[in-house]
Amino acid sequence: MKKLVLSTLSLTLFLAACNGNEEETVNEPADEGVEEGVTEEDGEETAETESRVLTDGLGNDVEIPENPEAIIASYLEDYLLALDVIPAAQWSISDGEGVQFYLQDELSDVPTIPYDLPYEAVMEFEPDFIMIRDQLEQDMVDQYNLIAPTYVLNASPTDWRETMREIGTVLDHEEAAETVIDEYDTRAEETASLVEEQADGESAAAIWMIDTSLFVVHPERSSGAVLYGDAGFEIPSVVDQLSDDADWAAVSLEELAEMEVDHLFLISDDEESSLTEDRLWQNIPAVQNDAVYTFDSQSAWLYYGPIANEQVLGFIEDSIQ
Amino acid sequence: MTHVDDHSPLKDKVFKRSLFLFLFLLFLLAVLILISLGSGHLSLTPADIWLTLTGSGTGAQELLLYQFRLPRIILAVLVGIGMASAGAIFQGVTQNGLADPGIIGIHSGSGFFVVLFLYLVSLSQDQPPVWANIGLPFVAFAGGTTAALLIYVLAWKEGITPVRLVLVGIGINAGFSAALLLIQLRMSESDFNRAIIWLSGSIWNASWATVLRLIPWILIFLPLALYKARILSVMQLGEEMAVGLGTAVEKERVKLLIIAVALSAASVSVAGGIAFVGLVAPHLARRLVGGKFQRMIPVSAMIGAILIVLSDSIARTVLAPSEIPVGLIVSVIGAPYFIYLLITIKE
């Protein structure tokens, strides 16, 4: 398991390094929806006057600084790292105790900031650019703007590709962002062909177990999009019916049994649960065929982003082999 | 309790004592504000504050002080004044020491309308229009008035007895809280979280814009409250006596309630439902200067401001860099006092 994580991470690092190289050669002025980018030759003097202006998710025109060095993009670290950008601070909860553990190989030296971004905590890092996903009130964005230019994303939080492209555009790494997506898709094809080879036409579900509550991933979101959209597992009909507007929908053990799912990716931190003793659980095809794969809740399954998804692809491959 | 005849020679003495107390509280508030300016996640020494105030601080210090801490502290003062004086009036009108706009449903009425308003705005378009924020105090006022009207109508039985008013108010509070929950459950996750934080009472996102939204309400209705304070004092003599003294009790009661609802609703619209301020501040004030509202309202406004500024300083330092909603801190201070009151009040 550890080896798998390490290999996935090193692959990610490798990809990130590739992107980094790409970046240096690219650096062309961006065009789509961007007011005249500044090329390298223009140098520092013009950079200040000719900075790019983009319209953000709140409809504000945000002046994007040239080559921001200290970026705060809380809960968007995955995308930043994919572009080889290290943020000035990283998302955290519970006074810095809870972080995105699956990214810690790259973020371990990055200080934490509370998830709700108190103004003074943001000021402490003296950011020169702030990127925010949540639709905040204009009042609050105005306050952040006093600290540094603040950009609220347009992209839907449930669409990582759209998010990746937008962040690429904002940070003037458009082509690098495309490369991240292309390389991910290539990587996903490998997984898909492995799934076709090993488990053609079989169904799968990712189930998050908290004590005795079960949640199933939305088929088009988070690791659900990877499982079905990218790796090509069949979607059990129950999963399709359950999904409404949540990334993870509550599901009963009865409904889970009804799925007759062939592969079960179980996200759970408990070694044992009374649920697994249940007859209904025992009758799930995946349980009978020894195709239940357990992951802890800090792993990439619950997240969004190219790095998270890449790790999930690795988990899938390792599980079905 | 000091029932002092207006012509008595004692008058000056009592007045002087109250004035002295008021000035002392003002001084205390000023000291607290200075301490509060210096406290927070980023440290500012008194020297830094002095340099910044005299115009020779760094840009970052100016930003921190003028754009983040100062509006927040001013907002805390205004909210404290608004909620405490509203509480004093409510207690006077209902002649019930436990009547707090937070307890009898004025806050939850305002809160319900505000959350409903925000929800409807978020449904109709992606970006809340600019006028939405300026409209918030009015929406809150409409909600508070609705709650007050409902209480009034439901409690009416050939006039209104104070006890009925409070009991009905508690029922209204429960009703609005339930309705509030109903809307919240229909909200998206991020809106829900925002509503929760807002409802538990929070001023951490204070800005000059929020201060400007609240300040007209305080500036208009606080003087009105002080102007009406004499009538409130007369009403304490009992309804018959007040009528005998030429007070149109029912009419004045309505006016006073409108003033109190305006003060509390406007405060709620920027800071959420901070409970107990409207209860604790007037109580302490009564102990300090007696039951005359001309003296009691200013003193209780001062205590309210001190309470919120103090709580907010705690709220943003104790778990820094994370913040605790100020309403929770106020409750931690206020709830034991409320229980103490319940135990000591004798029927």
Q: Distance, in angstroms, between A219 CA and closest chain B CA?
A: 19
Report, as an integer, the average pLDDT of A98-111: 93
Q: Backbone phi, then psi, for A12, in 5-degree steps?
A: -60, -45
- What confidence score (pLDDT) does residue B318 get? 87
Task: State the number of CA atoms in the 13 A half-sphere of A200 facing the CB.
Answer: 3
- A119 interaction partners in chain B (CB closer than 8 Å): 68, 204
Query: Which of A120, A137, A139 faces B42 most closely, judged by CB atoms?
Result: A120
Q: Distance, in angstroms, between A304 CA and closest chain B CA?
A: 17
Q: How many CB atoms lie within 10 A of CB A156?
A: 12
Report, as an integer, the average pLDDT of A88-100: 89
A204 bridge partner residues: A263
Query: Which of A118, A124, A245 faces B204 most closely, judged by CB atoms?
Result: A118
Mean pLDDT is lowest, of A121-130, B235-244, B248-257, for B235-244
- A124 interaction partners in chain B (CB closer than 8 Å): 41-42, 321
Contacts of B153 (CB under 8 A, 6+ apart): none
What token pair was written down for A309? 């998804």
B40 to A146: CB separation less than 8 angstroms, yes or no: no
pLDDT digits (tens, 9 = 90+) for A124-160: 999 999 999 877 777 888 899 999 999 999 998 889 9
Integer Cα distance of B98 and B104 in angstroms: 9
Q: Distance, in angstroms, between B205 CA and closest chain A CA?
A: 6
A116 to B128: CB separation less than 8 angstroms, yes or no: no
A119 to B210: CB separation less than 8 angstroms, yes or no: no
A72 within 8 A of A89, measured Cβ to Cβ = yes
Task: State the number of CA atoms in the 13 A half-sphere of B151 facing the CB.
Answer: 36
Per-residue pLDDT band at A91 (split at 50, 70, 90): very high
- What confidence score (pLDDT) does residue B46 get? 85
pLDDT digits (tens, 9 = 90+) for B45-65: 888 888 888 888 888 888 999
Query: Which of B188, B204, B319 faces A95 most closely, judged by CB atoms?
Result: B319
For A95, name the nearest residue in chain B, comparing CA atoms only.
B322
Q: Distance, in angstroms, between A251 CA and closest chain B CA?
A: 19
Q: Distance, in angstroms, between A122 CA and closest chain B CA?
A: 9
**Measured torsion, CA atoms of residues B288, B292, B298, B300, in degrees rounded to the nearest 10:** 50
Measured between alpha carbons, how far is residue B286 from residues A236, B2, B231, B261, B282 in Å? 68, 10, 17, 21, 6
Closest-CA residue to B301 (of B268, B267, B278) = B278
Chain B residues with at least one Cβ partner in A under 8 Å? 40-42, 60, 63-64, 67-68, 126-128, 130, 133, 188, 190, 194, 197, 204-205, 207, 209-210, 316, 319-323
A116 to B323: CB separation less than 8 angstroms, yes or no: yes
Q: Is the pLDDT of residue A16 over 60?
A: no
Q: Is the pLDDT of residue A37 over 90?
A: no
Contacts of B46 (CB under 8 A, 6+ apart): B34, B38
- What confidence score (pLDDT) does residue B31 get? 95
Asked: is B57-344 a CATH 1.10.260.40 domain? The reply is no
Integer Cα distance of A220 and B304 in angstroms: 51
- A90 interaction partners in chain B (CB closer than 8 Å): none
B93 within 8 A of B258, measured Cβ to Cβ = no
- What confidence score (pLDDT) does residue B51 get? 87
A137 to B322: CB separation less than 8 angstroms, yes or no: no
Query: Which of A58, A124, A245 faces B41 most closely, judged by CB atoms?
Result: A124
For B318, name the nearest residue in chain A, comparing CA atoms only.
A95
Query: Which of A123, A134, A140 faces B205 most closely, judged by CB atoms?
Result: A140
- More confident position, B197 or A204: A204
Domain ranges of chain B: 57-344
Q: How many CB atoms lie within 10 A of CB A72?
A: 28
- More confident position, B139 or A3: B139
pLDDT digits (tens, 9 = 90+) for B141-155: 999 999 989 988 888
What is the CA A91 to chain-centroid distance, rounded?
13
- Domains of chain A from N-terminus onward: 27-157 (3.40.50.1980), 180-320 (3.40.50.1980)
List the alpha helices (DSSP H) in chain A. 2-25, 43-49, 77-82, 104-107, 119-124, 138-147, 160-170, 174-199, 222-224, 237-242, 253-259, 279-282, 285-288, 306-320
Sign of CA dihedral B67, B73, B76, B78: negative
Report, as an integer, the average pLDDT of A293-299: 92
In chain B, the N- to C-terminal Cα span, in Å, equals 18
- B42 interaction partners in chain A (CB closer than 8 Å): 120, 123-124
Mutate to test the interface with B, among A90, A115, A120 (most CBs of B within 10 A): A120
Query: Which of B127, B194, B204 faces A59 most closely, judged by CB atoms?
Result: B127
How is residue B157 annotated by DSSP?
A: S
Closest-CA residue to B149 (of B164, B135, B179, B169) = B169
- B320 interaction partners in chain A (CB closer than 8 Å): 120-121
Query: Which of A123, A134, A146 faces B190 most closely, judged by CB atoms?
Result: A134
- B271 interaction partners in chain A (CB closer than 8 Å): none
Mean pLDDT is lowest, of B76-80, B150-154, B258-262, for B150-154
Query: Which of B63, B128, B205 faces A146 most closely, judged by CB atoms?
Result: B63
pLDDT digits (tens, 9 = 90+) for A232-285: 999 998 887 776 778 888 889 998 888 889 999 999 988 777 788 888 988 899
Give every strand in the sheet of A213-217, ordered side by side. Answer: A248-251, A213-217, A204-210, A263-268, A292-295
H or E element at residue B168: helix B162-186
Query: Which of B133, B319, B323 faces A139 most closely, judged by CB atoms?
Result: B133
What token pair was written down for A84? 């080889």
| Collapsed DSSP state (helix, strand, coil) of residue A93 | strand
B180 within 8 A of B56, measured Cβ to Cβ = no
B64 to A123: CB separation less than 8 angstroms, yes or no: yes
- B321 interaction partners in chain A (CB closer than 8 Å): 113-114, 118, 120-121, 124
- A146 interaction partners in chain B (CB closer than 8 Å): 63, 67
Q: Distance, in angstroms, between B112 CA and closest chain A CA?
A: 19
Report, as an integer, the average pLDDT of B95-120: 86
- What confidence score (pLDDT) does residue A36 get? 41
Cβ pairs bridging A and B (under 8 Å): 68
